[in-house]
Amino acid sequence: MSSVSQSQLENSLFIATANTVHYRSPVVDTTVFECDNTNGIVNVRASKDNSSLFAVADSQVVILCDAARGKDKKYKLKDGQVKQ
């Protein structure tokens, strides 16, 4: 196994496209979210505390994603309101 310095681990990037969110770092390149909705992703926001949390929204759901732990929490939207 190769050694990876701490500075390399800190250099990571989330990339949002119309239908996917990708996570790239020196050691990982993976798709962490994929939208099957024909309208695609409406908005993606990363947390402001530099954690691995981010929110992804399309016209029907908002999903809170924790890329480091691989856990998601999904909220359905109905009439502009969030329903759990």
Question: Over its length of 84 residues, how does the chain's per-residue pLDDT go in tens digits?
Answer: 333 344 444 677 888 888 888 888 888 888 888 888 777 888 888 888 877 788 888 878 888 888 777 788 888 877 655 555
pLDDT of the residue at 9: 43
From 41, 18, 38, select the one nearest 65 (Cα to Cα): 41
Q: What is the pLDDT of residue 5?
A: 42
Cβ-contact 27, 4 below 8 angstroms: yes
pTM above 0.75, yes or no: no
Q: What is the DSSP string of 24-80?
A: E-SS-EEEEEE--STT---EEEE-TTSSSEEEEE-SSEEEEEETTTTEEEEEEEETT
- Domain positions in the chain are 6-83
Residue 12 gets which letter from DSSP? -
